[in-house]
Structure 1
Amino acid sequence: MSPQRVLVYLLRRDLRVADNPIFHEISKLAEQSERPFTHVLPMYIFPAHQIEISGFLSDPSSKSPYPEARSEVSGFWRCGPHRAKFICESIWDLKRDLESKGSGLAIRAGNLAKTLKDVLKQFEEQKDSEVAGVWITDEEGVEEKRELREVRNVSEKAGVDFRSWVDEKYLVDDRDLPFDKPSDLPDVFTSYRKSVEPLRDAPRKELKPPKSLPPLPEFIPSQPAPFSIPENDYNALEAAVLKPIKDNPPITNPASYPTNVESAHPFSGGSSEAHKRIQHLLATASMTHYKDTRNGLLGLDFSTKLSAWLALGCITARQIHWRLIDFEDGRSDQYKGVEGYGKGENKGTAAVRFELLWRDYMRLCTRKFSHRLFRLEGFRNDTSHHWRTPDGHGPTKAWNNGNGNGNLDHEDLSATIGRFQRGETGISLIDASQRELYLTGYTSNRARQNVASFLAKHLNINWIIGAEWYEYCLVDYDVSSNWGNWQYVAGVGNDPRGEARVFNPVKQSSDYDPKGEYCVAWVEELRGMVDSKSNGHGNKPKENGEGEGILEVYQPWLVKEDRREGLGLNGRVGVEHPLKKIDFRLGRGKGGGGGGGGRYGGSSRGWSGNGWRGRGGGRGGRGGNRERGGRSDRRGDMNGPGLPE
């Protein structure tokens, strides 16, 4: 009897069966009489450097051979509980999908190359099995490229055929790019966009999903010690992944989950859930209205929320595109009667494609700039900025900006960062977003822009700390979108305006949360400042006697001390010692901060994928009385800090 010839397929961020180039090729080869392999072993390995795997230790009292999966500057876990859970769900959904095709999924944990080496060794010891090849999709990113090189080296040293694939999960396929070298990518998104338009004609056809796949080999190598994987028990798998993260949270005394508020991202991982979401967005005309609603702050359908699935490759951009085509061309009867159905591309569906292209662009920037994605000086190689940072690259004490507009001199930097994380800055839009992010793993694109600008431009704190915080928190984290968009906002990335783009979070609150509903939803202690309604937090600010009660909602430090006790604000650090006081008046502004549009990604690392872009926004006068908000030209939702969303 001839030995089984096994193909090992290492999955990373390609967690789907449909529109998957490797599964498509495997299916085609399986139909040939002369097949290069008889069995296929799909395998997902939790990467020890990106996801903490000590929860898989067979003996909980033993020590993991791998360093903890923590970020370089801040020491946060690199994957927080919301994304860890979403990854587990996505893996399990893929496992079920593969089983329905006659295959399955082996789940392991560790270093990819070391785990593969052990797998090849175990197969070598079997007389009736041999590995015919190792396949993997390529991914952009310094760590991802290193993983691929190490896997290639292990395969070649073992005499096993190795092949890396370009994953076809993007809107514009790499084969259709109008340039050959990464260095030829324009540094400005608009130039790139114009080179590939019209976007509706750009995507290639989807790859047909396999009807069936070759079986798993009779022998499946076990997980190397000292770990043990509960492959057949989802609850045990999730618990093992979440345990070390939950046992050691990054902040103390976080805000509790507020009453009467629902997460804007209550979704589960996996391809099946992603396709349900696409159908929902089309059936409710949310895609049709996307351009008008994309700057929302509360609710499920103001943005697509597709970024988390896109980031893990549970769905592809071209799958979204072709579902839009079905809707626009009237090819799917399930959407009959829905606004926009059968009437061609509309401004909403065009805006969705626009955002998908931003995800493509952020990935290509990673290819072009490589390790500069993670450098403090950014794509611009800007070494002129003196960031406040805890790692020795800047002063360790908080500062006052010299014009009486700051109130940081009583705190050191670590305490300031802690307040930023907990949502205790005293700027309600920032605090609401930070609490929502920590408690749910999601916050809107508009909020992400303001948070990033506040940290980097208003507090002058090392933007990498913000990028690492989003890496921990975001369910829709995508390496290219997150880090590229944090650079963009910080002024060291590929934003043509650089330092000139500054968001005024008070003006932004006035523009996008005019009744303060988002602020009081997530900063629960502010609810005494609005007239109560049946939903528990109302939307009509109580006047302060000066006609500007809504500004007190946006910056509660404005509430005079004799009124704070009655409003339940006494003892609140953000009220008594705000990190920043922003001078802004309804209808006119005084100096300080520009307002304005922009693009900052995440939907959609969220900035998993949606970036931010735009004109608009002035820098304000020099002590004058103007605050120019400018024209917001923000477009975005496909992920991503995040910024994805």
Structure 2
Amino acid sequence: MPVALVWFRNDLRLNDNPALRMALEEGYTPLPVYIHAPEEEAGWAPGAASNAWRHRSLQALDVDLRARGSALHLRTGPTAAALQDLLGEADAQAVFWNRKYEPATQPRDAALKKQLREQGLRVESANGGLLFEPWDLATGQGTPYRVFTPFWRAARARWRLPSPWQAPVRLPACDVAAPVTLSSLGLMPKRDWDRGFWDAWRPGEAGAREALEIFIDGALRGYREDRDRPDRVGTSRLSPHLHFGEIAPWRVAAALEQARNAANAAEVEAFLRELGWREFAWHLLHHFPHTADRNLNPRFDGFAWATPGAGTLAAWQRGQTGVPIVDAGLRELWATGYMHNRVRMIVASFLTKHLRLHWLHGARWFWDTLVDADLANNTLGWQWTAGTGADAAPYFRVFNPVTQARRFDPHGEYIARWVPELRGLPAAARFAPWESPALVARLAPGYPATPMVDLAEGREAALAAYRSSGD
């Protein structure tokens, strides 16, 4: 049988893998390949938390391949040279891959496809990560959607899930020299910063399937309400698995549809809508690739962002702001590589509104510390909160972190877990400890007596700056 390279990227699974399926169905012996070339991601090379996850996911993929008689072959970039070397070593006649949609990788992949086809090779790419290609949905005027609701309405009108596909239990062996080892890629943190991550996560395809099953059997019940409660297990926790392609979004959607009944139909629809936001994020990044670094709404290009003072940004990053719900979220992020979505909005609003720091400061920190760091979702989330992007929160929407904490962490349990200095306080005093100075001095002396910025003053300063930016 002729050999085909199957080039893995953020599609680290065997089931529901269109590139692998194409290679097999067209009669090729697949040579699974991963090429590490972070320098080709332009200014958004994967961060430390993503790399730590990727190390374990690649390891899991190789184990799955070896159980089927194959193996994952690792190389380092430049990608074009690595592919040429592998084509020669394996005497391969074809290359298959699943598409990526980042601004840096789309033109690179298009150039590679053209170059390889000119060499007489069979080269095919497929959609391995989205329910809709970013170019599949458009407004009645043929322009990209910039508002989620009509985008989602159009998506639901064209809702067609691909059929699930199970990889064969045996794959034909195809071996070449293996000069690159996983450890040599340098994906692991230089110090043991990530050790707390793996109590909560299981990277790899099996871990993704397990997370989906746990969600359907548990948190799906009450999802609409509980998804906003950081003190509860109310979300799917599928985001890193989806980001690394350890499970296909259509597999997730199909499982939810299969579980749908009269009692949970509204919960299922609410979760599918969240998958829709993921699709919308990639739709936007494809059509507006500059938004990873610049405002979508040019009105804010001259906005008077504050200059970070000495230690201000570091205090926010490490959860030392003196605002308990903000500090809890950022400490959860540092300890687990994850932050609850509701809290992400709160800490982002605090940074961009109360501190009035540019959203890129936050986006870069999330990019380096989140295990589910996804360029499209990260960009959409930060620009939404800052008010500079598509479907954005209006500039006058400033999350009050105390009100948010009282509403979504009503007993202060999330705060107590991640800000242990405040555990000794009564629950009612955990949300705004500066309102109970004597109590804090006695029971929580290690916590800041006041927030790094007065919340009312910070809000008014933000509103004034936004108003002055012009309509």
TM-score (norm 1): 0.65
- Partner in structure 1 of residue 226 of structure 2: 293
SS at match of 1:187: coil
Query: Quick check: 2:32–2:73 contact (8 Å CA) kept in 1?
Result: yes
8 Å CA contact 2:425, 2:443 repeated in 1: yes
Cα distance in structure 2, aligned partners of 1:379 and 1:19: 37
| Aligned-pair CA distance for 1:298 | 2.8
Aligned position for 2:200: 266
Equivalent residue number for residue 452 of structure 2: 579
Q: CA deviation at 1:272?
A: 1.2
Q: CA deviation at 1:171?
A: 3.1
After superposition, the Cα gap between the structure-2 partners of 1:264 and 1:171, relative to the gap in structure 1 and judged at 3 Å, is farther
Tell me the equivalent position of 2:9.
12
**Residues in 1 aligned to 2:243 and 2:199: alpha-carbon distance in whole angstroms:** 15
Which moved further from structure 2: 93-102 or 303-312? 93-102
| Matched residue, 1:137 | 98
Please say if residues 178 and 195 of structure 1, whose CA atoms lie closer than 8 Å, have aligned partners that are also in contact: yes
Counterpart of 2:39 (choices 49, 54, 57) is: 49
Does 2:315 align with 1:356? Answer: no
The DSSP-based 3-state class of the residue aligned with 1:170 is coil
Kept in 1: contact 2:57–2:203 (CA 8 A): yes
CA distance in structure 1 between the aligned counterparts of 2:247 and 2:23, rounded to whole angstroms: 19
- Does residue 1:229 correspond to 2:181, yes or no? yes
Q: Offset of 1:169 from its aligned partner?
A: 3.0
- How far the C-alpha of 1:565 sits from its partner, in A, is 4.1
In 2, the alpha carbon distance for the partners of 1:21 and 1:5 equals 19
Secondary structure at the counterpart of residue 30 of structure 2: strand
Q: Secondary structure at the match of 2:130?
A: coil
Match of 2:245 in 1: 313
What are the within-5 Å matches in structure 2 for residues 178-197 of structure 1? 178-179=137-138, 184-197=143-156
Q: CA deviation at 1:194?
A: 1.7
Q: State the AA in 1 paired with 2:53.
A: F
SS in 1 for 2:322: coil
Contact 1:366 1:480 in 2 (8 A): yes
**Corresponding position of 1:165:** 125
The answer as to whether partners of 1:113 and 1:154 remain within 8 angstroms in 2 is no
Q: Structure 2 matches for 1:72-87, cutoff 5 A?
A: 78-81=46-49, 83-87=50-54
In structure 2, the partner of 1:155 is 116
Q: Deviations over 1:373-412 (max 9, x none)?
A: 321x335463131223xxxxxxx4x5xxxxxxxxxxxxxx
Amino acid at match of 1:192: F
The change in CA–CA distance for 1:182 and 1:110 in structure 2 (over 3 A counts) is farther
**SS at 2:368's partner residue?**
helix
Structure 1 residue aligned with 2:468: none
5+ residue gaps, structure 1: 31-36, 52-68, 124-128, 231-235, 250-255, 329-341, 389-395, 399-412, 531-540, 542-549, 584-590, 595-618, 621-645
Cross-structure match for 2:469:
none
Q: Is the 8 A contact 2:3 2:92 kept in 1?
A: yes
Indicate how the Cα distance of structure 1 residues 264 and 361 shifts in structure 2: closer, same or farther if over 3 A, else same.
farther
Q: 1:110 and 2:100 equivalent?
A: no
Distance 2:342 2:48 in 1: 22
Find out whether 1:416 has 2:312 as its counterpart: yes
Instruction: Assess if the C-alpha contact under 8 Å between 2:291 and 2:379 holds in 1.
Output: no
Letter in 1 for 2:224: K
2:64 alignment partner, SS class: helix
Cα separation, 1, equivalents of 2:256 and 2:337? 27
Native 8 Å contact 1:363 1:480 kept in 2: yes
Q: Distance in 2 between matches of 1:213 and 1:26?
A: 14
Alignment partners' CA distance in 2, 1:168 and 1:296: 32
Give the C-alpha shift of residue 167 in structure 1.
Answer: 1.7
Shift of 1:415: 0.9
Instruction: Judge conservation of contact 2:73–2:178 (CA < 8 Å) in 1.
Output: no
How much has 1:515 moved relative to structure 2?
A: 1.9
Change (3 A) 1:105 1:496: closer
**8 A contact 2:338–2:371 mirrored in 1:** yes
Residue 557 of structure 1 corresponds to: 434
The residue aligned with 1:280 is 214
Q: Counterpart of 2:257?
A: 325
**Aligned to 1:241, which of 184, 187, 209?**
187
* Cα separation, 1, equivalents of 2:169 and 2:23: 10
Give yes or no for contact 2:164–2:251 (8 Å, CA) kept in 1. no
Q: Which amino acid aligns with 1:205?
A: P
Q: Which residue of 1 aligns with 2:174?
A: 217
3-state SS of the aligned residue for 2:423? Answer: helix
How far the C-alpha of 1:203 sits from its partner, in A, is: 2.9
Contact 1:265 1:305 in 2 (8 A): no
> Do the aligned partners of residues 181 and 366 (structure 1) sit closer, same or farther apart at CA in structure 2, a change above 3 Å counting?
farther
Asked whether 1:208 is paired with 2:208, we answer: no
Letter of the 1:43 partner, please give it. V
Q: Give the number of equivalent residue pairs.
A: 462
Counterpart for residue 235 of structure 2? 303
Number of the residue aligned with 1:94:
61
2:266 corresponds to: 347
CA distance in 2, matches of 1:174, 1:378: 17
Give % identity.
25
> Cα offset for 1:563?
5.1
- Give 3-state SS (helix, strand or coil) of 1:525's partner: helix
Report the CA distance between 1:212 and its aligned residue: 5.3
CA contact (8 A) 1:428 1:554 kept: yes
User: In 2, distance between residues paired with 1:421 and 1:203?
Assistant: 42
1:566 is the counterpart of 2:462: no
Q: CA deviation at 1:471?
A: 0.6
Relative to structure 1, the CA distance from residue 160 to residue 505 in structure 2 (aligned partners, 3 Å threshold; closer, same or farther) is farther
Matched with 1:425 is: 321
Match of 2:415 in 1: 519
Q: Say which SS state the counterpart of residue 26 (structure 2) adopts.
A: helix
Q: 1:24 to 1:314 in 2, by over 3 A?
A: same
1:421-463 deviations in whole A, cap 9, x for unaligned? 1111111110010011011111111100001111111111111
What pairs up with 1:49-68 in 2 under 5 angstroms?
A: 49=39
Q: Is the 8 A contact 1:79 1:473 kept in 2?
A: yes
Aligned to 2:340: 444
Work out whether residues 369 and 379 of structure 1, in 8 Å CA contact, stay in contact via their aligned partners in 2. no
Kindly provide the CA deviation profile for residues 134-178 of structure 1, in whole angstroms up to 9, marking residues without a partner as x.
222221111221431453365357x25253423243234669x44
Is 1:501 the equivalent of 2:397?
A: yes
CA RMSD of aligned residues (A): 3.2
